[in-house]
């Protein structure tokens, strides 16, 4: 089994270590040799963890699952960037060929009041589930809806809805925002459903409820820095935030309660 590149790399890693939610935590230095450029960033972390197991150490906890860039489980601030330096790429799809031997890499968890650290690089993102539960759905029960083709959706809106629906809920937008705002995440769901006739009916109430929940959970506000868009691994656009604001204003003026 041989890769495309046989030269291995040596790296200096600075990793956030924190035992649990109550621990204060600190940066710890590790030196790692034998890193193949064909490894993914997480495979590099696996290699470090194997070394730690052998040395009786406690492994570094980090979230990951599909390793295909779609589940949204992986996170990590890598050298100050959410999911690292490659545009529109999750940490699991970032490969070590983007780094050079001898590089120092700083690895931290998402930092946000609403995302408390559980251990090391693993944070609690259940606030996102609470926001979805506040209204991120169409109120339809399982049963016998009309034939799928009875609802015609123009291709442009269908494509825009799909663009917004591509959000993987990883939280990079929150982590990269100086206000720890969740507006890109919230607006992506609001946009997807507002652009489709099935979801448009409830759009105003949905927007009001989701935004209220977002505020309540301690996420900050948007000040138009667009860092979320720059760091989103799925290329979600801030025009969704503009659409959310329109929906919110519509609701605010038309509200009956």
Partner 1 sequence: MTQENTMIKKLDGKVPTGPVQDRWKTHKFNMKLVNPANKRKYSVLVVGTGLAGASAAASLAELGYNVTTFCIQDSPRRAHSIAAQGGINAAKNYPNDGDSVYRLFYDTVKGGDYRARESNVYRLAEVSSSIIDQCVAQGVPFAREYGGTLSNRSFGGAQVSRTFYARGQTGQQLLLGAYSAMMKEVSKGKIKSYTRREMVELVTVEGKARGIVVRNIVTGEFESYSADAVILATGGYGNVYYLSTNAKASNASAAFRAYKKGAYFANPCYTQIHPTCIPVSGDHQSKLTLMSESLRNDGRVWVPKIKGDKRSPDQIPENERDYYLERIYPSFGNLVPRDVASRNAKLQCDAGFGVSATGMAVYLDFADAIQRKGEDKIRAEYGNLFEMYERITDQNPYKVPMMIYPAIHYTMGGLWVDYNLMSNVPGLFVLGEANFSDHGANRLGASALMQGLADGYFVIPYTIGNYFASEKFAKVETTQTEFATALTTSKNKYAQLLAINGTKTVDEYHRALGHIMWEKVGMGRNEAGLKKAISDIQALRADFWKNVKVSGLSVDVNTELEKAGRVADFLELGELMALDALERKESCGGHFREESQTPENEAMRDDANFCHVAAWEFQGVDAVPTRHIEELTFETVKLTQRSYK
Q: Of 12, 28, 31, 57, which one interacts with partner 1 (CB under 8 A)? A: 57
Q: Cβ 225 to partner 1, closest distance in Å?
A: 26
**Residues β-bridged to residue 15:** 28, 107
Number of residues that bind partner 1 (CB under 8 A): 84
Of 174-193, which residues contact partner 1 (CB under 8 A)? 192-193
Lookup: tokens for 89: 């790429």
Helix, strand, or coil here: 119? strand
Q: Cβ 223 to partner 1, closest distance in Å?
A: 27
Q: Of 30, 32, 71, 225, which one interacts with partner 1 (CB under 8 A)? A: 71
Answer yes or no whether residue 141 interacts with partner 1 by CB under 8 A.
yes
Residues in the chain: 257
Q: Which of residues 101 and 139 has its CB atom nearest to partner 1 in the complex?
A: 139
Answer yes or no whether residue 20 interacts with partner 1 by CB under 8 A.
yes
Answer yes or no whether residue 47 interacts with partner 1 by CB under 8 A.
yes
Helix (H) or strand (E) holding 247: helix 239-254
Q: Of 7, 26, 144, 224, which one interacts with partner 1 (CB under 8 A)? A: 144
Q: Which of residues 46 and 225 has its CB atom nearest to partner 1 in the complex?
A: 46
d(CA 208, CA 246): 11
Of 72-111, which residues contact partner 1 (CB under 8 A)? 72-73, 86, 89, 93, 95, 97
Answer yes or no whether residue 153 interacts with partner 1 by CB under 8 A.
yes
Q: Cβ 137 to partner 1, closest distance in Å?
A: 4
Helix, strand, or coil here: 187? helix
Answer yes or no whether residue 32 interacts with partner 1 by CB under 8 A.
no
The residues, any chain, with a CB within 8 Å of residue 247's CB and separated by 6 or more, are 190, 194, 203, 204, 206, 207
* DSSP one-letter string for 18-67: -SSTTS--EEEEEEEEEE-TTSBHHHHHHHHHHHHHHTTPPPPP---S-S
Q: Which of residues 141 and 224 has its CB atom nearest to partner 1 in the complex?
A: 141
Task: Report phi then psi at 95, rounded to 5.
Answer: -110, 155
Answer yes or no whether residue 67 interacts with partner 1 by CB under 8 A.
yes
Task: Report phi then psi at 162, rounded to 5.
Answer: -65, -40
Q: Which of residues 51 and 250 has its CB atom nearest to partner 1 in the complex?
A: 51
């Amino acid at each position: 089994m041989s890769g495309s590149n046989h030269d291995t790399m040596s790296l200096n890693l600075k990793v956030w270590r924190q035992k649990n939610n109550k621990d204060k935590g600190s940066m710890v230095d590790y030196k790692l040799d034998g890193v193949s450029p064909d490894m993914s960033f997480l495979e590099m972390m696996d290699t470090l963890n194997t070394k730690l197991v052998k040395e009786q150490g406690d492994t570094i906890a980090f979230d990951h699952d599909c390793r295909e860039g779609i589940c949204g489980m992986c996170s990590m601030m890598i050298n100050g960037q959410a999911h690292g330096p490659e545009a529109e790429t999750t940490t699991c799809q970032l490969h070590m060929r983007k780094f050079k031997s001898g590089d120092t890499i700083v690895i931290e968890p998402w930092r946000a009041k609403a995302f408390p650290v559980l251990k090391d690089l693993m944070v609690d993102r259940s606030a996102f589930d609470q926001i979805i539960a506040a209204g991120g759905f169409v109120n339809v029960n399982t049963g016998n809806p009309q034939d799928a083709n009875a609802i015609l959706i123009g291709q442009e809106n269908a494509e825009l809805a799909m663009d917004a629906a591509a959000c993987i809920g990883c939280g990079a937008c929150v982590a990269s925002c100086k206000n720890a705002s969740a507006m890109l995440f919230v607006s992506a769901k609001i946009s997807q459903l507002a652009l489709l006739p099935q979801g448009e009916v409830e759009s105003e109430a949905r927007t009001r409820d989701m935004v209220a929940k977002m505020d309540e959970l301690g996420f900050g506000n948007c000040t138009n820095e667009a860092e979320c868009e720059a760091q989103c691994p799925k290329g979600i656009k801030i025009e969704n935030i503009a659409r959310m604001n329109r929906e919110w204003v519509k609701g605010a003026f038309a509200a009956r309660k």
